[in-house]
Amino acid sequence: MAKITMRQAISQALWEEMERDPNVFILGEEVGVWGGTYAVTKGFYDHFGPERVKDTPIAEAAIIGAAIGAALTGTRPVAELMTINFAFSAMDHIVNEAAKLHYMFNGQMVLPLVIRTVGGGGRQLGATHSQTPDAIFAHFPGLKVVAPGTPADAKGLLKAAIRSNDPIMFIEHATLYQTRGEIPDGDYLVPIGTSKVQREGKHVTVVTYSKMLELSMKAADLLAKEGIEVEIVDLRSLRPLDMGPVIESIKKTNRGIIVEEGWKSFGVGSEIMSRIYEEAFDYIDAPIKRVAQKEVPLPYNSTLEQMALPQIEDIVSAIKEVM
C-alpha cells in the first residue's frame, strides 16, 4: 500500500472518478486555472478542460444552485466551497433544496451532488473562517454528512460519495491535508454511514471523528504507557450515524468520552451521548464526558486559538476522570 497525504488521497479520488465517469465535473472558486485553494485540483484544468473543471464567481449560492440544477439533469457535480463557513451563504439551496427535493417529489428525481468543503480551526483564519458547524448540516434529514480522519477513508469515502445518488456534504479538515497514511491498492470504496474502530482497547471508549481522531490516537499512545488501553471509534459519517460500533465498544469498556472540535452545546457529542444513554445505559460505570472547543468565537491570536481548541492534554484528562 502506498503512503500518501490526505491532499493526495482526495485528489486521487476526484481524478479517478472523473476518468471513470464523464458525467462527473468540478465547479467552484479557483478550482481550475489556480488548481484549488488547497491545491487538491492542481493539474485538473489542463487534463480535463474547462467544460469539466469550472471556475466560478465568488458566489456560493450560485455555485450550489448551479450544481443542484446540473445534478437534476443527469450529471454528477462536485461543488467546492472554499470553507464550510461560506456554506451559510448557500444555506437555502443546501437545506431547502438539495436535502429535500428527492423526498418532496416522491423519489421522481435524484440528486447526485457532492459538496466538498473545508472546516475546522487551527490555522489563524479568524472567527468567521474557523468554525466547525458539522452538527448544523447533520441536523437535516436528506443530506448526508461525511468527515474523514485518515487519507484512506478520505479517498474511499469521496469515491463512494461521487457514485452516490444522494446530496452529500464532504467535510475536509483544514489541518489534515499534510497528514500521511497508507492507501489500499486498486479501486476501493468506503461505505458512507459506517463507523470504524480505529484502535482496539479495553478500558475506555473514545468516540470521535475528523481532526480529533488524530489527537485521540496521540492521547491513547500516552495513556498506553500508563497501562490504560483506549479503544477509539471513528464515526467517519455524521449522517447516517452508525452507532453500532460505539455501543458495542461501550458494552466492552463500560466507560466513554466523546471528542469533537465543535462547540459542546447542541453538538455532535450531545447526540452521541444521548444515544449511548438510550441504548447502553445498563453498561455504563461512569458518567460519559465530552471534550470540545471552548464556547467562544475562535480567536485569531495563535496562543488563544490553541487554548480554545481541544488539546491532547484535555483528552488525557477526561479519560483519567472517567477511569
Residue keyed to cell 468554525? 131
User: How many whole angstroms separate alpha carbon 207 and alpha carbon 204?
Assistant: 10
> Strands, DSSP E only, in the chain?
2-5, 24-28, 53-55, 76-81, 114-119, 144-146, 168-173, 180-183, 196-199, 204-208, 230-234, 237-239, 256-263, 289-293
Q: Which of 17, 29, 80, 129 is catalytic?
A: 129
Residues 243 and 237: their CA atoms lie apart, in Å, by 10
C-alpha 53/C-alpha 49 separation (Å) is 6
DSSP reduced 3-state for 168: strand
Contacts of 318 (CB under 8 A, 6+ apart): 257, 259, 289, 290, 291
Establish whether 60 is a catalytic residue.
yes
- Helical pair 244-253 and 268-280, crossing angle rounded to 10 deg: 60
Per the residue annotation, which of 29, 60, 260, 305 is the catalytic one? 60
**What amino acid positions are annotated as catalytic residues?**
60, 129
